[in-house]
Structures are given as structure tokens and as C-alpha cells.
Structure 1
Amino acid sequence: MSRTIPASLDAFWLAEAIRLREEQAGPLEDAEARRRAIAGGGDLQQRILARAAWIGGREGLVDAQRSAHQGAALALLALALVALASGAGLAVAALGDGQRPVNVFWALAGLLGLNLVSLLGWGLGLCLGGETSGALGRLWLWLSGALARGARGAQLAPALLVLLGRRRLARWGLGWLVHGLWLLALLAALAVLLALLATRRYGFVWETTLLQPDTFVGLTRALGYLPAWLGFPSPDPATVRASGDGMLAADAARHAWAGWLAGVLTVYGVLPRLLLAAFCGWRWRRGVARLALDLSDPGYVLLGERLMPASERLGVSDPAPESLPTPPASGPSDGRQGALLVAVELDERPWPPALPATVADAGVLDDSAQRRHLLEQLTRHPPGRLAIACDPRRSPDRGTLALLGELARCAGATRVWLLPAPPGEALDPARLDDWRRALDTLGLAHDQASPLPWLETGDD
């Protein structure tokens, strides 16, 4: 990808949103966007992304994306706080206040039961090939949309789903989020569990009516096998059998049961979520790095015919037209140099005036072909200073004002020259005020005095 147009997820997302919008409401006006995309060069995908970036900024979709990001971040923060509070609550509920013995297997079920059910649902969805976001992922999506205040662009959400669906990235992105939230909850539970065990004196028992003591001995040994590899203590068979008859007062028994409970929570709760979050994050980043537009889509095929001119696809067969002269001058630091004077729709006026040697004349723009040709030239060779002469006897219609805006965006600095009336005529003050208000709205400097000294030297 070109370094001037980074192939980020947002760039592809914006291009998809504009494609869907044009499919539903028809093509958008994109003459300036296409000119800039073609002038930037690159392959078809790069030009589509450049066009989308320009149109997205104009139509407010970039702001809508920014709002969507803010909503997603706020939703994630809210869910993270809920996860921390829920994890802490699970630990407190599992151990109680220390006044009564802790049933170790009921405590373990309270700490890991819902987590294991969620994990089983995620794995089943993954094996069946469906989406694996679960209720937590859907809740985050809903909260993100609700918190994205003022977001414009109804096509943003479906465009993102279409884009991520091509490489099945939604499952990995949402999986990363869901496992991360569960990991946060389990870490909070483990931290509170250890804090309670360190500051309170708990006794541990197990109880049964149907099962034999050997069943609990085998279950305790099986669950404690992997934690023992990490150094967590585990009660011996005699301690397990004795705990079925009542709470043991020996500190060694309390320590063994507490270590066993913390070890099982770590190995069967925290570690699986940590590994799955890392795996989903790796798959997500890998998939995003390989994202590409589906250039076989009919919408992009039509764009290809407009963004890849035949002269570029087949080779140039005729000499290129002469570019506008750009006499050397000390231009701005962005590389724009030279001074240029252009007129828009003049009625029977002698043109051009006598120009200094350092100021080039771009003629009079009377039709769309001339405008398009000049804009293409200015996109490739932007001048440092541009003066646009307008006849204030005409009304400032929207087409002319749009042209002035496009011309101004191609130059380092722009001034509009409101020409004085020819000898024997007078300007309409109301129409002149209309011009001034319109140019002020566009943010363009304007004056009735000649801009030639400014064009020549850059100084009034």
C-alpha cells in the first residue's frame, strides 16, 4: 500500500460506507475527489481509498467514524468497570463473611460456573462456524451505537459488518473483547479472593448425601493436578476425607484448601481466558493487516473506469498537453510555488491586464472543460499564490462559488479580485454585498483593488 494512503481499517471502512451509500442513493458528486485521487497515483485500491477519504471528510462520515470510536471506547470502559465489580462480587459471595465454613465445591462453582458456560458457548459457536460474539459482544455493540452521539451516516454499521465479514474478522475482534472482559473479571475475583484469604480466617468443608468420600478425593486430586505443577498446594486425601466430617481447625488444612481454591481459579479460569484473548487478538491483527477491497464489486468496477484513465491503462498515445507555467517564486513551505492569475466568466472585458514577468496567466474560464483542465493542472502543480478575477455584475451562484472553493484548495494562498465596473457603468451595491457575504462564508480573502502587487511579491 502507498505510504500516503495508509491501509488502515478506518480507510477501508470509509470506502465501504461510501459504496453502500452510492448503491442506495446514487453516485455522489466526486469531480474534485477523483482529480485528487488520480493526481496521487497508485493502483485502483489506493485511488478508491483516496477518493473515499476526500468524500468522507466533505460528507461528515469521518466525523461519524470518530464519534463511533468514542462510543465504542465509552462502552468498553463501562463494561470493564462492570467486569471488575462482578469479579469482586463473585469472590465475596463465594467465601462469605467468614462466620460459616466455606463449601469448597459450591465456592468453586460460584467462581467458575458462569465462566465455563460462556466458554463452552464460545467454543461451540466456533466449531459450528457461526459468529461467536455471545451476549457480551452484542451488548457492547448495542452500547457503542447508543453512546455514539451525533453520529451521521447510516451506512457505517452495515459497511463495517460487510468489511469484516469477508475475512470473518468479527468473530476474532469480538472474541478478543469478550475474552478480555472475562479475563478482567476473573483477575478481579482472584485478587479479592487472595485479599480475603489473607485477612480473614476461613474454614473449608464439603458436604454430600449421595456421593462417597472417595469421589471428592478423586475430584480434588484431578482438579489440583495442573495447579500443583505451578506450585499451588493441594490437600492430601486424609485432609479431604476429614473435611467431609466437619471444618478442620488445623492451619495446614486451611492453607491447603485455600491454595487449592486459588490454584483452580487461576488454571481453569484466568489462564484459558488469557490464552484465548491473546489468540483472538493475534488473529484480529493478522486479518486487519490483510484487508483489501473487493474490486470485483460492481460499484468498484464502475469506479475503476473513472479512476484509472485509459491513457494510464493502455499507455499514453499522444503528447501530454502543456502544463500551466509556474514562474519561480518563493512559495510556502509545502512546495507550492509561483503566482497565477485566472478569471471566471468575464463579459466583454479586455483580458489579461499587463502582468509582471513572475505572474502567469491561466486565461478565462468559460466552460466546464476549461475548468476541469485547469483544476487537473493545479492539482498536479499547485501555485503558491492564486488570484481569481470575478465580475461582480453577475450574481454569485452556487456553481461559481463551488469553483472558487476548489481553486482555492489547490493553492497556497488565494485572493478573489472583484473587478471594478467598466467605464461608464456602476456596480450594484446590493449585488456587491452578496459577493462579499458569500466569499466571507467561504473564508476567501477578497478586494476590489488589483492583486498584482501581492502576486508579484507576496506582500501588499
Structure 2
Amino acid sequence: MTELKTLWLTETIRLREEHAGALEDQEANRLARSAGGDLPTRIEARALWLAERDGLTGALRHWLQGARLALIVLAVLATVSGAGLAFAALSDGQAPVNVFWALGSLLGLNLILLLSWTSGLIFAGDYGATLGRLWLWLSEKLARDAKAAQLAPALLLLLQRQKLNRWALGVLVNGLWLLAMLSALAILLTLMATRRYGFVWETTILSGNTFVVMTQTLGALPALLGFSVPTVEMIRASGDTALNIESARQAWAAWLVGVLLVYGVLPRLLLALFCLWRWKVGRAALHLDLNLPGYAPLREQLMPSSERLGVSDAAPERLHQAEGGANALDSDGALLVAIELDDQRPWPPQLPKNVKDAGILDSRESRQKLLEQLTRFPPERLAIACDPRRSPDRGSLALIAELARSASATRIWLLQAPPGQALDAERLGDWHTALQQLELPFADCAPMNWLESGHD
């Protein structure tokens, strides 16, 4: 995952916690602490784990797919618009082409918006926001993921802190206009290659000298690139009627193409490249701002000066499935642990030599201590003993799921009732249902053979 995506997801998690309160993050904090690194690294590791758990990582992929589709839609619109400008400028060739009307059709709107973008960039820095909002709206709609709606605000806030939004919008705006101008240029050349056009200029209040000066001034820069400019005689003669001379038609056509290239295509190309360069430089300088609200409380949790035992967090909306064997660390050995057993039951049972006893987890401190140990030394096989006389409450199931994620393979041992007592069938069924949802194997007999050798 790129650094930008990491910061993006970190900012998304920060905004979620800022608006909805702290997330259930005990396991995320523990894994971030075990991964090591400085505080920004641990905050990012915590955010990535929470984003993966809560589906934001998948939502980001969907949003990026939607963003690419939205960009394709806008690119198609820009291409069609550019082609429309060229057709409007030259029409069907039945009548002579007024060169300055054609020039206005090709460059007028582009130059007006170019000046607006430049002035907005200098004085406000937010021109292009309308097109940017359109792109973000299309991206969200095409993503088809409700969670993706949280990503766009986080991205905007992330970019605004470094003023990168103006350069991102600059690449978008100038890139689309560059595509439109290239489309207009391509259609212009195609029409000129397949149809015969005559060129004239017309005026009521201006003199012919004005058009001579305008034509030569606009053609000065294209002439440096090798484009021909009509002679003074050609310009004056074209004021009366379209010259039926091949050299005159070619000179006017070359002049029109050169002006479109120099004043339409090249400025957009240079600005798009400039914005892209500023975007890449700014993106490389992006970093996590630890002064933002929400990060200060994480310092003691992720880099504690003294170990903090137990954090009271809000209940999660749902329990997350355990995935045996998902631990990336090398696992070894076998471990037996019990959850909240009463004094009537002797513990531990007799264990094979290669199976270790992790005791009974009956307090927050004992749970946290074991989870920290399992993070550093994950077992290959883990058996969790539970008393099915107790109800499978949310806390117990969350602990079982977290323990299971720390081992390569996990089995649940549902203990038999002590002599003279019986298990409640309905409560036992609740245990079976809950463990099936967690996708964990369970049995009512001791899995000692499996703990010792890895098979029954």
C-alpha cells in the first residue's frame, strides 16, 4: 500500500473517531505496539488494522475503481466536446469559413477558463472546485459502496493541509482541457484533409489593417515552429472573398492549426505538467500531523511510559470473524487456556509434556498479559476451554476471537458439567451457534491428542 493510501485511511479513521467516538481498538493497539517503530508508524499500523477490520480498505479499492470510471466518463465528455468545437468552427464546407469566428469557436471558451483558473490559483487557490466536486460525486456513485462516502472528506482534508488540492485539481482541469484541445486539433486536421475550405474575414467597423496586424501577431509564435502565415496580400484579398488559390487555402489552414496548437494545446500541456510536478513534490512531503485532534490520546496507548492494563471501550456493532492461521509470525508449540472457570472445577487437567498451560483468564489484566505474550510468541495450536453453563456473552466471544487470531489453529473445548449438574440445552445451543459464526471448531471432549500431535 502506498504512503498516500496509508495516510488517507489513517485520516479516515481519525475522522470516524472524532465524530462517532473511539472505536474498539484494544487488539489494534496491541498489534501496533508489538510491530514497533515510532509513534506515527504505530498510529498508521493501528489505523490500517482498523480499516481492514471495518471494511474501509475494501471501500477504498471500490472508491478508486469508481474514480477511474468517473475519470473515463469525463475524458469521453472532453473528447466529444473538443470534436464539437472543431465541427462548429469549420461547419460543412459549403460556405467560406470566417477565420476569426472559427478561432473564437476553437479557443474562446478555453482561453476564458484558462485565465479564470490562473487568477483563481493566484488569488484563491480553489478554482476548479466545481469540476473536482463533480469528479468526487461521480466517483462515489460509481463506487457503489456505502462506506466509500467516508473517504472523500478525509482525502480533501488531507490534501488541504498541504494545499495539494489545487495541484490535484490543476492536473484534472488542465488534463481534461488538453484532451479537448487535442481532440479539436485531430478533428480539425481530419476535416481539412478531406474537405476543401475557403477562408475569409469580415468586418463593418474595423479596417483591413487591423486584421492584417491581428493575423501576423497571432501567427508570430506558430511561425517559430514552422507554421506558415498568410502574406499581407492574401490577408487583404481574403476580406472580399475566399481565395480560390491552393497556396492561400493552405496558408490559412496552417495558420489556424498553428494558432490552435500554440494557444490552445501547449498552454494546457505545460500547465498540466507543472501541476503534476507540484503534486508529486507535495505528495512526497505528506506526513502524519501528530498535533491533530485524536492523535494525542493514542500516544500513551501505543507508546506507553508504563504499561496500562485494561481499556473500557464502546461495544462494537458486531463481532468480527476469527481466521485461524492468519498470524504472519512463525508459530510454535501448543497451549491450553481456560476462560472464567469457577472454583468447583479442578484446573489444569493433566497435560502432555509439550503442551503448556496458560492458566485461567478471569481478569482484564490476565487477558491483556496473555494477548501480549501471544503477539510475540504465537502458538501453533491453541485450545480454549469454556464453561457452557455461562452464557456466550459479547465479551467472552470477542476474547475467543482475538485469542484465535493469535494462533495458527484453534479449537474450543466446551467443558462437561460437574457431577450432579446438567447443562442447559438452550444455552449450549447458543454456544454452538456463536462458535459456528466465528467459524471455530468445538467439541465437548478434551483435545489433548490434537494439542500434542496436531491430529486426533
With normalisation by structure 2, the TM-score equals 0.91
Residues 136 and 7 of structure 1: is their aligned pair in 2 closer, same or farther, counting only changes over 3 Å?
closer
- Greater shift, 19-28 or 410-419, is seen at 19-28
How far residue 155 of structure 1 moved from its aligned partner, in angstroms, is 4.6
Find the residue that maps to 1:450 and give its secondary structure: coil
Q: Which of 133, 136, 150 is the matching residue for 1:138?
A: 133
Q: Which residue pairs with 2:415 in the alignment?
A: 419
Residues 446 and 90 of structure 1: is their aligned pair in 2 closer, same or farther, counting only changes over 3 Å?
same
How far residue 228 of structure 1 moved from its aligned partner, in angstroms, is 1.8
Preserved contact between residue 332 and residue 384 of structure 1 (Cα < 8 Å):
no
Preserved contact between residue 140 and residue 148 of structure 2 (Cα < 8 Å):
no
How far residue 190 of structure 1 moved from its aligned partner, in angstroms, is 0.7
How far residue 144 of structure 1 moved from its aligned partner, in angstroms, is 2.6
Preserved contact between residue 199 and residue 242 of structure 2 (Cα < 8 Å):
yes
* Alignment pair present for 1:37 and 2:32: yes
* Percent of aligned pairs with the same amino acid: 63
How far residue 116 of structure 1 moved from its aligned partner, in angstroms, is 0.5
Q: Per-residue CA shift, 1:285-323, capped at 9, x if unaligned? A: 2211211122122421111122111159xxxxxxxxxxx
- 1: distance between equivalents of 2:284 and 2:452? 49
Q: Which of 443, 449, 455 is the matching residue for 2:451?
A: 455
- 1: distance between equivalents of 2:333 and 2:97? 84
Q: Which residue pairs with 1:286 in the alignment?
A: 281
Q: Which residue pairs with 2:118 in the alignment?
A: 123
Q: Which residue pairs with 1:264 in the alignment?
A: 259
* Alignment pair present for 1:402 and 2:410: no
Residues 7 and 311 of structure 1: is their aligned pair in 2 closer, same or farther, counting only changes over 3 Å?
farther
Q: Per-residue CA shift, 1:199-245, capped at 9, x if unaligned? A: 11111111111222222122111211221222222212211111111
Higher relative contact order (CA 8 A, sep 6+): 2
Query: Counterparts of 1:234-249 in structure 2 under 5 Å?
Result: 234-249=229-244
Preserved contact between residue 136 and residue 152 of structure 2 (Cα < 8 Å):
no
Q: Which residue pairs with 1:152 in the alignment?
A: 147
Q: Which residue pairs with 2:319 in the alignment?
A: none
- 2: distance between equivalents of 1:246 and 1:212? 16
* Alignment pair present for 1:28 and 2:48: no
With normalisation by structure 1, the TM-score equals 0.90
Residue identity matched to 1:401: L
CA RMSD of aligned residues (A): 1.9
Preserved contact between residue 390 and residue 416 of structure 1 (Cα < 8 Å):
yes
Q: Per-residue CA shift, 1:238-270, capped at 9, x if unaligned? A: 111111111011111111111111111111111
Q: Which residue pairs with 1:349 in the alignment?
A: 345
- 1: distance between equivalents of 2:131 and 2:230? 36
Find the residue that maps to 2:294 and give its secondary structure: helix
Q: Which of 371, 388, 396 is the matching residue for 1:375?
A: 371
Q: Which residue pairs with 1:100 in the alignment?
A: 95
- Greater shift, 194-203 or 352-361, is seen at 352-361
Find the residue that maps to 1:335 and give its secondary structure: coil
How far residue 332 of structure 1 moved from its aligned partner, in angstroms, is 9.1
Q: Which of 42, 49, 58 is the matching residue for 1:54?
A: 49
Q: Which residue pairs with 2:177 in the alignment?
A: 182
Q: Which of 101, 109, 123 is the matching residue for 1:114?
A: 109
Preserved contact between residue 334 and residue 355 of structure 2 (Cα < 8 Å):
yes
- 1: distance between equivalents of 2:136 and 2:112? 21
Residues 333 and 176 of structure 1: is their aligned pair in 2 closer, same or farther, counting only changes over 3 Å?
closer
Q: Per-residue CA shift, 1:58-90, capped at 9, x if unaligned? A: 333333333332332222121111111111111
Preserved contact between residue 65 and residue 151 of structure 1 (Cα < 8 Å):
no
How far residue 334 of structure 1 moved from its aligned partner, in angstroms, is 5.2
Residues 52 and 424 of structure 1: is their aligned pair in 2 closer, same or farther, counting only changes over 3 Å?
same
- Greater shift, 139-148 or 192-201, is seen at 139-148
- Greater shift, 55-64 or 238-247, is seen at 55-64
- 1: distance between equivalents of 2:53 and 2:95? 67
Residue identity matched to 1:302: P
- 2: distance between equivalents of 1:81 and 1:11? 31
Q: Which of 53, 64, 81 is the matching residue for 2:59?
A: 64
Find the residue that maps to 1:152 and give its secondary structure: helix
- Greater shift, 344-353 or 366-375, is seen at 344-353
How many matched pairs? 437
Q: Which residue pairs with 2:314 in the alignment?
A: none
Find the residue that maps to 1:38 and give its secondary structure: helix
Preserved contact between residue 341 and residue 386 of structure 2 (Cα < 8 Å):
yes
- 1: distance between equivalents of 2:261 and 2:453? 74
Residues 55 and 449 of structure 1: is their aligned pair in 2 closer, same or farther, counting only changes over 3 Å?
same
Q: Which residue pairs with 1:437 in the alignment?
A: 433
- Greater shift, 349-358 or 162-171, is seen at 349-358
Find the residue that maps to 1:416 and give its secondary structure: strand
Q: Which residue pairs with 1:386 in the alignment?
A: 382
Residue identity matched to 1:204: F
Find the residue that maps to 1:108 and give its secondary structure: helix
Q: Which of 240, 243, 246 is the matching residue for 1:251?
A: 246
Preserved contact between residue 62 and residue 148 of structure 2 (Cα < 8 Å):
no
Find the residue that maps to 1:417 and give its secondary structure: strand
Residue identity matched to 2:197: Y
Q: Which of 355, 359, 370 is the matching residue for 1:363?
A: 359
Residue identity matched to 2:114: L
Residue identity matched to 2:410: T
- 1: distance between equivalents of 2:182 and 2:148? 39
Q: Which of 199, 203, 206 is the matching residue for 1:211?
A: 206
Preserved contact between residue 327 and residue 407 of structure 2 (Cα < 8 Å):
no
Preserved contact between residue 63 and residue 151 of structure 1 (Cα < 8 Å):
no
- 1: distance between equivalents of 2:445 and 2:364? 28
Find the residue that maps to 1:423 and give its secondary structure: coil
How far residue 134 of structure 1 moved from its aligned partner, in angstroms, is 4.6
